[in-house]
Amino acid sequence: MHEDFWVLVIQKLHENLDYETASGENPWIN
């Protein structure tokens, strides 16, 4: 597998997590 592919996937996941946290709808943040 191409490692660069997974780097992009993880970056995208972090972007989504940051968006959810900023929107205040992330249940995982206390």
Q: Whole-angstrom Cα distance, residue 14 to residue 5?
A: 14
Say which residues have a Cβ less than 8 Å from residue 26's Cβ, sequence separation at least 6.
Answer: 17, 20
The amino acid occupying position 15 is E
* Inside any domain, residue 30: no
* Inside any domain, residue 4: yes
Average pLDDT, the chain: 74
Could you tell me if 20 and 26 are in contact, meaning their C-beta atoms sit under 8 angstroms apart?
yes
- Both tokens of 14, joined, read 């972090």
- pLDDT reading at 5 higher than 90: yes
Indicate the number of domains in the chain.
1
CA angle 30, 12, 22 (to 5 degrees): 35
Domain range for 3 is: 1-25
Predicted TM-score of the model (pTM): 0.46
Q: What is the pLDDT of residue 16?
A: 74
- pLDDT reading at 29 higher than 60: no
